[in-house]
Amino acid sequence: AQSVTQLDSQVPVFEEAPVELRCNYSSSVSVYLFWYVQYPNQGLQLLLKYLSGSTLVKGINGFEAEFNKSQTSFHLRKPSVHISDTAEYFCAVSGVEQGGKLIFGQGTELSVKP
């Protein structure tokens, strides 16, 4: 079984500052890792995913994440945030052999202030 822990429920940050949203996972099998963003009253949009290969993954809207197998982490980063990045961010894991069933963390609310 897999589980995901997002270490911060809320992250307030000023506009143009860097941000890191932390995610740790546990699994007894090989996994794929994902970050999704959810804007108010909307569904989930995929930001980026790690399947294999390079541990640094670049996604949309200037976000990137680094897969660290030894620390079982997949932290999301952006060097300079905008007001429009204010949203809920979810880290998710899927077992390689589990056909796309996603296990989500509790979410991190990113609040960007002017």
Partner 1 sequence: DAGVTQSPTHLIKTRGQQVTLRCSPISGHKSVSWYQQVLGQGPQFIFQYYEKEERGRGNFPDRFSARQFPNYSSELNVNALLLGDSALYLCASSLNLGSTEAFFGQGTRLTVV
Contact 103, 2 (CB under 8 A): yes
Does 45 participate in binding partner 1 (rule CB under 8 A)?
yes
User: Cα separation of 77 and 1, whole Å?
Assistant: 27
CB of 16 to partner 1, least distance (A): 28
Under DSSP, the state recorded for 52 is S
Cβ nearer to partner 1, comparing 52 with 70: 52
Give how many residues touch partner 1 by CB under 8 A: 24
H-helix or E-strand spanning residue 102: none
Does 21 participate in binding partner 1 (rule CB under 8 A)?
no
Nearest Cα neighbor of 91 from 24, 27, 28 is: 24
Does 86 participate in binding partner 1 (rule CB under 8 A)?
no
Binding site for partner 1 (CB under 8 A): 4, 32, 36, 41-46, 49, 51, 90, 92, 94, 98-107
